Each structure stands twice: as C-alpha cells, then as structure tokens.
Amino acid sequence: MSDLLTGFAFFLIIEGLVYALAPLVLVELAKRLPYVPEHQLRLAGLTSVAVGVGLVWLLRG
C-alpha cells in the first residue's frame, strides 16, 4: 500500500509541476486534444502504460 501511495504522490507532484510551470502549454494541448484521432490517443495511452510497467519491472526486479 505504501508503494501505491508513493506512486500517487509522484503523480501529483508531476501534475502540479505542469500546471505551475507551463499552464499555457497545457491549455493549448487541451484545445488540440479533441482533434487527435481516438486510435492515436489510445496508442499513446497503451504505450505510456507499457513504458510505466517496464520501468517498474526494471526497478523492482
């Protein structure tokens, strides 16, 4: 449970940094997001999950 909470804390830190350091970039990204094809968003999400799982596996292995 501690690892899950630590991961969530890191997520909040990174998310907060994006909002604090580059809010205009985030707004522009949000404006463009509806025009990105669904399959491209899905592929980006699956790639992100795979990289994350791979990193955890390497670090914990």
Reported as a single tens digit per residue, the pLDDT across 4-50 is 899 999 999 999 999 999 999 999 999 999 999 999 999 999 999 99
Q: 1 pLDDT exceeds 90?
A: no
- Amino acid in the structure at residue 23: P
From CA 10, how far away is CA 60, in angstroms rounded?
17
Q: 2 pLDDT exceeds 90?
A: no
pLDDT of amino acid 8: 92
Give the up-direction half-sphere exposure of residue 5: CA atoms within 13 A in the CB hemisphere: 2
Within 10 Å of residue 26's Cβ, how many Cβ atoms? Answer: 13
**Domain boundaries along the sequence of the chain:** 2-60
Q: 56 pLDDT exceeds 90?
A: no
